[in-house]
Amino acid sequence: MTNSTLIINIKTVYGLHSKPFLFKKGTAMSVVDTLNNAYILVEDNVIHSFGPMSEVPERSDTVIDASGCLVLPAWCDSHSHIVYAASRENEYVQRLKGMTYEQISKSGGGILNSAEKLHHTAEEQLIISAASRLDEVISTGTGAIEIKSGYGLSTEDEIKMLRVVRHLKSESPATIKASFLGAHAVPLRYKNNRKEYIKLIINNMIPKVAGEGLADYCDVFCDKGFFTPDETDTILKAAARYGLKAKIHANELANSGGVQVGVENNAISVDHLECIGDEEIEVLKNSNTIPTVLPSCSFFLNIPYAPARRMIDSGLGVAIATDFNPGSSPSGNIPLLMAMACNNMRLTPNETFNGVTINGACALELSESHGSISQGKIANLIITKKIPSLDYFIYSFGSDHIQSVMLNGKIISKKDF
Ligand code: NIG
Ligand code: FE
Protein backbone atom coordinates (compact mmCIF):
# COMPACT_ATOMS: atom_id res chain seq x y z
CA MET A 1 0.00 0.00 0.00
CA THR A 2 1.45 3.34 -0.99
CA ASN A 3 1.00 6.41 1.12
CA SER A 4 0.53 9.63 -0.83
CA THR A 5 0.69 13.31 0.02
CA LEU A 6 -0.42 16.00 -2.39
CA ILE A 7 0.88 19.53 -1.90
CA ILE A 8 -1.43 21.90 -3.77
CA ASN A 9 -1.69 25.59 -4.69
CA ILE A 10 2.06 26.12 -4.24
CA LYS A 11 2.85 29.74 -5.06
CA THR A 12 6.26 28.81 -6.54
CA VAL A 13 8.33 25.64 -6.57
CA TYR A 14 12.11 26.29 -6.78
CA GLY A 15 14.88 23.94 -7.85
CA LEU A 16 13.11 21.73 -10.37
CA HIS A 17 15.41 19.53 -12.41
CA SER A 18 14.68 17.17 -15.20
CA LYS A 19 18.32 16.03 -15.36
CA PRO A 20 19.13 14.38 -12.03
CA PHE A 21 22.93 14.64 -12.03
CA LEU A 22 23.37 18.33 -12.71
CA PHE A 23 26.34 20.02 -11.02
CA LYS A 24 25.95 23.75 -11.59
CA LYS A 25 29.05 25.65 -12.69
CA GLY A 26 29.75 29.26 -13.67
CA THR A 27 26.75 31.04 -15.20
CA ALA A 28 24.60 27.92 -14.70
CA MET A 29 24.81 28.64 -10.98
CA SER A 30 22.45 31.56 -11.47
CA VAL A 31 19.77 29.41 -13.06
CA VAL A 32 17.02 28.07 -10.79
CA ASP A 33 14.07 26.45 -12.53
CA THR A 34 10.72 27.37 -11.03
CA LEU A 35 7.02 26.66 -11.51
CA ASN A 36 4.18 28.90 -10.31
CA ASN A 37 0.78 27.75 -9.05
CA ALA A 38 1.94 24.17 -8.82
CA TYR A 39 1.33 20.84 -7.14
CA ILE A 40 3.78 18.15 -5.97
CA LEU A 41 2.62 14.57 -5.45
CA VAL A 42 4.69 12.53 -3.00
CA GLU A 43 4.29 8.77 -2.90
CA ASP A 44 5.86 6.99 0.05
CA ASN A 45 9.28 8.58 0.37
CA VAL A 46 9.74 9.89 -3.18
CA ILE A 47 8.61 12.72 -5.42
CA HIS A 48 6.15 11.01 -7.75
CA SER A 49 5.33 14.01 -9.94
CA PHE A 50 4.81 17.76 -10.06
CA GLY A 51 3.12 20.16 -12.42
CA PRO A 52 0.78 23.12 -12.80
CA MET A 53 -2.43 23.18 -10.73
CA SER A 54 -4.39 22.85 -13.99
CA GLU A 55 -3.11 19.24 -14.10
CA VAL A 56 -3.43 18.38 -10.40
CA PRO A 57 -4.19 14.68 -9.76
CA GLU A 58 -7.62 13.95 -8.36
CA ARG A 59 -6.92 12.28 -5.05
CA SER A 60 -4.37 11.35 -2.43
CA ASP A 61 -4.33 10.25 1.20
CA THR A 62 -3.21 13.61 2.58
CA VAL A 63 -3.57 17.07 1.07
CA ILE A 64 -1.46 20.05 2.13
CA ASP A 65 -2.70 23.42 0.93
CA ALA A 66 0.40 25.59 0.32
CA SER A 67 -1.43 28.70 -0.94
CA GLY A 68 0.95 31.66 -0.85
CA CYS A 69 3.89 29.42 0.13
CA LEU A 70 7.08 28.38 -1.66
CA VAL A 71 8.40 24.82 -1.83
CA LEU A 72 12.15 24.27 -1.99
CA PRO A 73 14.34 21.16 -1.90
CA ALA A 74 15.73 20.54 1.60
CA TRP A 75 19.31 21.75 2.03
CA CYS A 76 22.34 19.48 1.57
CA ASP A 77 25.03 20.49 4.09
CA SER A 78 28.24 18.84 2.91
CA HIS A 79 30.54 19.82 5.82
CA SER A 80 29.84 19.67 9.55
CA HIS A 81 31.32 18.61 12.88
CA ILE A 82 28.14 18.26 14.95
CA VAL A 83 29.43 15.52 17.26
CA TYR A 84 31.17 17.36 20.10
CA ALA A 85 31.10 17.36 23.86
CA ALA A 86 31.02 21.03 24.78
CA SER A 87 30.69 24.52 23.40
CA ARG A 88 33.70 26.93 23.39
CA GLU A 89 32.27 30.36 24.04
CA ASN A 90 35.23 31.12 26.34
CA GLU A 91 37.50 31.02 23.26
CA TYR A 92 35.06 33.25 21.42
CA VAL A 93 35.45 35.87 24.15
CA GLN A 94 39.26 35.40 24.07
CA ARG A 95 39.19 36.11 20.35
CA LEU A 96 37.01 39.17 20.87
CA LYS A 97 39.68 40.40 23.26
CA GLY A 98 42.39 40.02 20.63
CA MET A 99 43.72 36.45 20.57
CA THR A 100 43.73 34.68 17.19
CA TYR A 101 42.30 31.24 16.42
CA GLU A 102 45.86 29.98 15.83
CA GLN A 103 47.14 31.40 19.13
CA ILE A 104 44.29 29.70 20.99
CA SER A 105 45.07 26.41 19.18
CA LYS A 106 48.78 26.63 20.01
CA SER A 107 48.03 27.14 23.69
CA GLY A 108 46.08 23.84 23.87
CA GLY A 109 42.66 25.36 23.16
CA GLY A 110 40.70 24.85 20.00
CA ILE A 111 40.49 21.34 18.61
CA LEU A 112 42.66 19.93 21.44
CA ASN A 113 40.31 21.45 23.99
CA SER A 114 37.36 19.76 22.25
CA ALA A 115 39.28 16.45 22.13
CA GLU A 116 39.97 16.59 25.85
CA LYS A 117 36.29 17.16 26.62
CA LEU A 118 35.14 14.46 24.21
CA HIS A 119 37.50 11.94 25.81
CA HIS A 120 35.67 12.37 29.12
CA THR A 121 32.17 12.24 27.64
CA ALA A 122 30.21 9.00 27.27
CA GLU A 123 29.05 7.88 23.86
CA GLU A 124 25.39 8.02 24.97
CA GLN A 125 25.79 11.65 25.98
CA LEU A 126 27.42 12.49 22.63
CA ILE A 127 24.47 10.85 20.87
CA ILE A 128 21.99 12.96 22.83
CA SER A 129 23.72 16.27 22.12
CA ALA A 130 24.45 15.54 18.46
CA ALA A 131 20.89 14.30 17.86
CA SER A 132 19.57 17.52 19.32
CA ARG A 133 21.82 19.58 16.98
CA LEU A 134 20.63 17.45 14.10
CA ASP A 135 16.97 18.08 15.00
CA GLU A 136 17.72 21.76 15.17
CA VAL A 137 19.26 21.89 11.68
CA ILE A 138 16.42 19.77 10.28
CA SER A 139 13.99 22.37 11.60
CA THR A 140 15.88 25.01 9.58
CA GLY A 141 15.55 22.89 6.45
CA THR A 142 18.54 20.55 6.28
CA GLY A 143 17.75 17.13 4.82
CA ALA A 144 21.22 15.70 4.17
CA ILE A 145 24.43 16.33 6.08
CA GLU A 146 28.03 15.19 6.29
CA ILE A 147 29.38 14.71 9.82
CA LYS A 148 33.08 14.42 10.68
CA SER A 149 35.00 12.84 13.50
CA GLY A 150 38.19 14.70 14.48
CA TYR A 151 37.65 15.52 18.15
CA GLY A 152 38.88 12.08 19.19
CA LEU A 153 42.53 12.10 18.09
CA SER A 154 43.05 8.58 19.46
CA THR A 155 41.88 5.36 17.83
CA GLU A 156 39.37 4.73 20.57
CA ASP A 157 37.86 8.20 20.61
CA GLU A 158 37.77 8.62 16.82
CA ILE A 159 35.86 5.35 16.65
CA LYS A 160 33.60 6.50 19.47
CA MET A 161 32.70 9.60 17.43
CA LEU A 162 32.08 7.59 14.27
CA ARG A 163 29.86 5.17 16.16
CA VAL A 164 27.81 8.19 17.24
CA VAL A 165 27.50 9.17 13.57
CA ARG A 166 26.49 5.60 12.70
CA HIS A 167 23.79 5.78 15.37
CA LEU A 168 22.51 9.08 13.95
CA LYS A 169 22.52 7.53 10.46
CA SER A 170 20.24 4.75 11.61
CA GLU A 171 17.90 6.87 13.74
CA SER A 172 17.59 10.22 12.00
CA PRO A 173 15.31 11.03 9.06
CA ALA A 174 18.19 13.08 7.61
CA THR A 175 20.55 11.41 5.13
CA ILE A 176 24.03 11.33 6.65
CA LYS A 177 27.57 10.77 5.31
CA ALA A 178 30.48 10.21 7.71
CA SER A 179 34.05 11.44 7.37
CA PHE A 180 37.03 10.20 9.35
CA LEU A 181 39.13 13.21 10.46
CA GLY A 182 41.82 11.69 12.68
CA ALA A 183 44.19 14.21 11.09
CA HIS A 184 42.41 17.22 12.54
CA ALA A 185 45.26 18.20 14.90
CA VAL A 186 48.35 16.56 16.38
CA PRO A 187 47.51 15.65 20.00
CA LEU A 188 49.77 17.13 22.70
CA ARG A 189 51.25 13.73 23.59
CA TYR A 190 52.65 13.51 20.02
CA LYS A 191 53.78 17.14 19.93
CA ASN A 192 57.44 16.21 19.54
CA ASN A 193 56.76 13.12 17.51
CA ARG A 194 54.17 13.95 14.90
CA LYS A 195 55.43 11.19 12.60
CA GLU A 196 54.27 8.64 15.16
CA TYR A 197 50.80 10.17 15.18
CA ILE A 198 50.61 9.97 11.39
CA LYS A 199 51.74 6.34 11.60
CA LEU A 200 48.96 5.69 14.11
CA ILE A 201 46.43 7.21 11.71
CA ILE A 202 47.70 5.14 8.80
CA ASN A 203 48.42 1.82 10.46
CA ASN A 204 45.77 1.73 13.10
CA MET A 205 42.93 4.21 12.74
CA ILE A 206 42.27 3.93 8.99
CA PRO A 207 42.25 0.11 8.89
CA LYS A 208 39.90 -0.03 11.90
CA VAL A 209 37.57 2.71 10.68
CA ALA A 210 37.39 1.20 7.20
CA GLY A 211 37.17 -2.35 8.55
CA GLU A 212 34.07 -1.47 10.57
CA GLY A 213 32.58 0.52 7.67
CA LEU A 214 32.39 3.60 9.89
CA ALA A 215 33.28 6.28 7.33
CA ASP A 216 32.49 7.24 3.77
CA TYR A 217 35.39 9.71 3.44
CA CYS A 218 38.78 10.60 4.85
CA ASP A 219 39.42 14.22 5.76
CA VAL A 220 42.67 15.99 6.74
CA PHE A 221 43.07 19.53 8.09
CA CYS A 222 45.75 20.49 5.58
CA ASP A 223 46.83 23.90 6.73
CA LYS A 224 49.53 25.99 8.35
CA GLY A 225 50.14 24.72 11.88
CA PHE A 226 48.16 21.50 11.30
CA PHE A 227 49.10 18.97 8.55
CA THR A 228 51.44 19.65 5.61
CA PRO A 229 50.58 18.75 2.00
CA ASP A 230 53.10 15.87 2.15
CA GLU A 231 51.55 14.49 5.32
CA THR A 232 48.10 14.95 3.81
CA ASP A 233 49.17 13.09 0.67
CA THR A 234 50.46 10.14 2.70
CA ILE A 235 47.27 9.94 4.76
CA LEU A 236 44.94 10.26 1.75
CA LYS A 237 46.83 7.60 -0.18
CA ALA A 238 46.60 5.22 2.77
CA ALA A 239 42.87 5.95 3.08
CA ALA A 240 42.36 5.34 -0.65
CA ARG A 241 43.89 1.87 -0.25
CA TYR A 242 41.01 1.16 2.15
CA GLY A 243 38.37 2.60 -0.16
CA LEU A 244 37.96 5.93 1.64
CA LYS A 245 37.70 8.86 -0.76
CA ALA A 246 39.19 12.22 0.12
CA LYS A 247 37.26 15.27 1.26
CA ILE A 248 39.60 17.75 2.91
CA HIS A 249 40.01 21.03 4.78
CA ALA A 250 42.24 23.25 2.65
CA ASN A 251 43.57 26.81 2.59
CA GLU A 252 41.69 28.19 5.58
CA LEU A 253 44.60 29.79 7.42
CA ALA A 254 47.20 30.09 4.64
CA ASN A 255 47.80 29.33 0.99
CA SER A 256 49.45 26.12 2.01
CA GLY A 257 49.05 23.70 -0.93
CA GLY A 258 45.88 22.01 0.28
CA VAL A 259 43.96 22.53 -2.95
CA GLN A 260 46.74 20.94 -5.03
CA VAL A 261 47.12 17.90 -2.80
CA GLY A 262 43.35 17.45 -2.68
CA VAL A 263 43.02 17.59 -6.45
CA GLU A 264 46.01 15.24 -6.94
CA ASN A 265 44.22 12.74 -4.72
CA ASN A 266 40.91 13.11 -6.61
CA ALA A 267 39.21 14.58 -3.56
CA ILE A 268 35.43 14.79 -3.82
CA SER A 269 35.74 18.28 -2.38
CA VAL A 270 38.25 20.75 -0.97
CA ASP A 271 36.63 22.87 1.70
CA HIS A 272 37.26 26.35 3.21
CA LEU A 273 39.45 28.06 0.52
CA GLU A 274 39.63 31.41 2.29
CA CYS A 275 43.29 31.72 1.19
CA ILE A 276 43.37 30.81 -2.49
CA GLY A 277 44.64 32.68 -5.55
CA ASP A 278 44.42 32.39 -9.33
CA GLU A 279 46.71 29.37 -9.36
CA GLU A 280 44.37 27.36 -7.11
CA ILE A 281 41.35 28.45 -9.18
CA GLU A 282 43.10 27.14 -12.30
CA VAL A 283 43.92 23.84 -10.59
CA LEU A 284 40.27 23.47 -9.56
CA LYS A 285 39.04 24.28 -13.05
CA ASN A 286 41.07 21.37 -14.39
CA SER A 287 39.62 18.88 -11.93
CA ASN A 288 36.44 17.16 -10.79
CA THR A 289 37.02 18.26 -7.19
CA ILE A 290 34.21 20.44 -5.83
CA PRO A 291 35.30 23.69 -4.19
CA THR A 292 33.25 24.13 -1.03
CA VAL A 293 33.02 27.43 0.78
CA LEU A 294 32.01 27.97 4.40
CA PRO A 295 30.80 31.55 4.90
CA SER A 296 29.80 31.21 8.55
CA CYS A 297 33.39 30.24 9.47
CA SER A 298 34.63 33.52 7.98
CA PHE A 299 31.83 35.42 9.68
CA PHE A 300 32.55 33.89 13.06
CA LEU A 301 36.38 33.92 12.96
CA ASN A 302 36.30 37.35 11.34
CA ILE A 303 38.65 36.18 8.60
CA PRO A 304 38.42 36.83 4.83
CA TYR A 305 35.71 35.03 2.91
CA ALA A 306 36.64 32.51 0.20
CA PRO A 307 36.58 34.29 -3.18
CA ALA A 308 33.42 32.51 -4.30
CA ARG A 309 32.38 35.37 -6.59
CA ARG A 310 35.70 35.14 -8.45
CA MET A 311 35.46 31.35 -8.57
CA ILE A 312 32.00 31.37 -10.15
CA ASP A 313 32.95 34.18 -12.55
CA SER A 314 35.88 32.06 -13.70
CA GLY A 315 33.51 29.19 -14.52
CA LEU A 316 33.71 27.10 -11.35
CA GLY A 317 30.75 25.71 -9.43
CA VAL A 318 30.82 25.92 -5.65
CA ALA A 319 29.05 24.06 -2.86
CA ILE A 320 28.22 26.07 0.26
CA ALA A 321 28.20 24.38 3.67
CA THR A 322 27.91 25.33 7.34
CA ASP A 323 31.03 23.79 8.96
CA PHE A 324 28.83 23.58 12.12
CA ASN A 325 31.40 23.08 14.94
CA PRO A 326 32.10 24.55 18.39
CA GLY A 327 35.21 26.52 17.39
CA SER A 328 34.81 28.25 14.07
CA SER A 329 31.11 28.04 13.22
CA PRO A 330 28.72 27.30 16.08
CA SER A 331 25.71 27.45 13.78
CA GLY A 332 24.19 25.03 11.30
CA ASN A 333 21.48 27.42 10.19
CA ILE A 334 21.45 27.40 6.38
CA PRO A 335 18.96 30.26 5.87
CA LEU A 336 21.34 32.49 7.84
CA LEU A 337 24.32 31.07 5.92
CA MET A 338 22.59 32.00 2.66
CA ALA A 339 22.37 35.61 3.82
CA MET A 340 26.13 35.56 4.53
CA ALA A 341 26.92 34.04 1.13
CA CYS A 342 24.89 36.74 -0.60
CA ASN A 343 25.90 39.69 1.47
CA ASN A 344 29.57 38.95 2.13
CA MET A 345 30.57 36.81 -0.85
CA ARG A 346 28.35 38.82 -3.22
CA LEU A 347 26.61 35.76 -4.61
CA THR A 348 23.06 36.12 -5.89
CA PRO A 349 20.18 34.34 -4.17
CA ASN A 350 19.99 31.86 -7.06
CA GLU A 351 23.74 31.05 -6.89
CA THR A 352 23.50 30.62 -3.15
CA PHE A 353 20.43 28.40 -3.49
CA ASN A 354 22.26 26.11 -5.94
CA GLY A 355 25.27 26.06 -3.60
CA VAL A 356 23.25 24.64 -0.70
CA THR A 357 21.01 22.33 -2.75
CA ILE A 358 22.20 20.55 -5.89
CA ASN A 359 25.90 21.43 -5.54
CA GLY A 360 25.83 20.45 -1.88
CA ALA A 361 24.24 17.15 -2.93
CA CYS A 362 27.08 16.62 -5.43
CA ALA A 363 29.64 17.26 -2.67
CA LEU A 364 27.88 14.52 -0.67
CA GLU A 365 27.71 12.23 -3.72
CA LEU A 366 23.93 12.28 -3.29
CA SER A 367 22.89 14.14 -6.42
CA GLU A 368 21.02 11.15 -7.81
CA SER A 369 18.58 11.25 -4.92
CA HIS A 370 18.80 14.69 -3.27
CA GLY A 371 19.26 18.40 -3.93
CA SER A 372 16.44 19.16 -6.35
CA ILE A 373 12.77 18.57 -6.99
CA SER A 374 12.88 15.85 -9.61
CA GLN A 375 10.71 12.83 -10.30
CA GLY A 376 11.94 9.83 -8.35
CA LYS A 377 14.16 11.77 -5.94
CA ILE A 378 13.70 11.44 -2.20
CA ALA A 379 10.87 13.72 -1.02
CA ASN A 380 12.97 16.09 1.10
CA LEU A 381 11.14 19.40 0.89
CA ILE A 382 10.85 22.73 2.66
CA ILE A 383 7.44 24.42 2.72
CA THR A 384 7.81 28.08 3.58
CA LYS A 385 5.37 30.41 5.29
CA LYS A 386 3.51 32.82 3.00
CA ILE A 387 6.36 34.82 1.44
CA PRO A 388 6.79 36.31 -2.03
CA SER A 389 10.01 34.74 -3.35
CA LEU A 390 13.43 33.15 -2.81
CA ASP A 391 14.98 36.63 -3.01
CA TYR A 392 12.76 37.67 -0.10
CA PHE A 393 13.60 34.48 1.84
CA ILE A 394 17.29 35.48 1.87
CA TYR A 395 16.89 39.26 2.01
CA SER A 396 14.84 39.26 5.21
CA PHE A 397 17.64 37.54 7.13
CA GLY A 398 17.07 36.35 10.67
CA SER A 399 13.34 35.76 10.24
CA ASP A 400 12.15 32.18 10.31
CA HIS A 401 10.34 31.66 7.01
CA ILE A 402 10.07 27.89 7.22
CA GLN A 403 6.64 26.47 7.98
CA SER A 404 7.40 22.78 7.69
CA VAL A 405 10.09 20.36 6.59
CA MET A 406 9.30 17.05 4.90
CA LEU A 407 11.96 14.32 4.89
CA ASN A 408 11.45 10.98 3.16
CA GLY A 409 7.87 11.99 2.41
CA LYS A 410 6.95 12.69 6.06
CA ILE A 411 6.49 16.05 7.74
CA ILE A 412 9.25 16.13 10.37
CA SER A 413 9.14 19.63 11.65
CA LYS A 414 6.14 21.91 11.65
CA LYS A 415 5.63 25.36 13.11
CA ASP A 416 2.49 27.39 13.60
CA PHE A 417 2.10 30.47 11.50
O1 NIG B 1 36.48 23.47 9.75
N2 NIG B 1 39.46 24.01 10.34
C3 NIG B 1 39.41 22.95 10.95
N4 NIG B 1 38.38 22.44 11.60
C5 NIG B 1 37.20 23.14 11.93
C6 NIG B 1 37.33 23.89 13.21
C7 NIG B 1 37.46 23.00 14.32
C8 NIG B 1 37.46 23.65 15.66
O9 NIG B 1 37.92 24.78 15.85
O10 NIG B 1 36.97 22.96 16.55
C11 NIG B 1 36.81 24.03 10.78
O12 NIG B 1 36.81 25.26 10.88
FE1 FE C 1 35.45 21.99 9.16
Give the residue, out of 79, 91, 101, 111, with the most ligand 1 atoms within 8 A of its beta carbon, to mutate for a pocket test.
111
**Do 182 and 47 have their domain in common?**
no
- Which run of H or E residues covers position 338? helix 334-345
**Do 69 and 109 have their domain in common?**
no
Domain termination site, one of 320, 339, 363 = 363
pLDDT of 31-60, one tens digit each?
999 999 999 999 999 999 999 999 999 888
How many residues does this entry show for the chain?
A: 417
Closest ligand 1 atom, CA of 271? 1
Does the structure show a pLDDT above 70 at 316?
yes
Domain termination site, one of 341, 363, 385 = 363
- Dmax (CA) of the chain: 71
Could you tell me the distance, in angstroms and rounded to a whole number, from the CA of residue 13 to the centre of ligand 2?
A: 32
pLDDT score recorded for residue 415: 78
Rounded mean pLDDT of the chain?
96
**Do 83 and 219 have their domain in common?**
yes
Residue 391 domain boundaries: 4-74+372-414
Q: Are 53 and 37 in contact (CB under 8 A)?
A: yes
Other beta carbons within 10 angstroms of residue 397's beta carbon come to 13
**Do 28 and 111 have their domain in common?**
no
**Do 15 and 123 have their domain in common?**
no
Closest ligand 1 atom, CA of 323? 1
Could you tell me the distance, in angstroms and rounded to a whole number, from the CA of residue 74 to the centre of ligand 1?
A: 25
We report the CATH number of the domain holding residue 376 as 2.30.40.10
**Do 262 and 406 have their domain in common?**
no
Does the structure show a pLDDT above 60 at 417?
no
Give the number of the ligand closest to the Cα of residue 300: 1
Distances (CA, A) of 223 to 112, 115, 254: 16, 19, 7
Question: What is the DSSP track for 223-250?
Answer: STTSB-HHHHHHHHHHHHHTTPEEEEEE
Other beta carbons within 10 angstroms of residue 272's beta carbon come to 29
pLDDT score recorded for residue 18: 80
We report the CATH number of the domain holding residue 160 as 3.20.20.140
**Do 183 and 53 have their domain in common?**
no
Other beta carbons within 10 angstroms of residue 33's beta carbon come to 12
Number of domains in the chain: 2
**Do 319 and 331 have their domain in common?**
yes
Could you tell me the distance, in angstroms and rounded to a whole number, from the CA of residue 81 to the centre of ligand 2?
A: 6
**Do 94 and 173 have their domain in common?**
yes
Write out residues with Cβ below 6 Å of ligand 1: 110-111, 114, 221, 249, 252, 297, 323, 325-328
pLDDT score recorded for residue 1: 77
The pTM for the full model equals: 0.97
**Do 104 and 193 have their domain in common?**
yes
The environment of the single-atom ion ligand 2, i.e. residues with CB closer than 5 A, is 323
pLDDT of 70-82, one tens digit each?
999 999 999 999 9
Closest ligand 1 atom, CA of 181? 4
**Do 132 and 16 have their domain in common?**
no
**Do 359 and 384 have their domain in common?**
no
Task: Give the residue-averaged pLDDT of 198-209.
Answer: 98
Q: Are 350 and 31 in contact (CB under 8 A)?
A: yes
Give the residue, out of 78, 106, 184, 224, with the most ligand 1 atoms within 8 A of its beta carbon, to mutate for a pocket test.
184
The residue whose CA has the least distance to atom 8 of ligand 1 is: 327
pLDDT score recorded for residue 20: 65
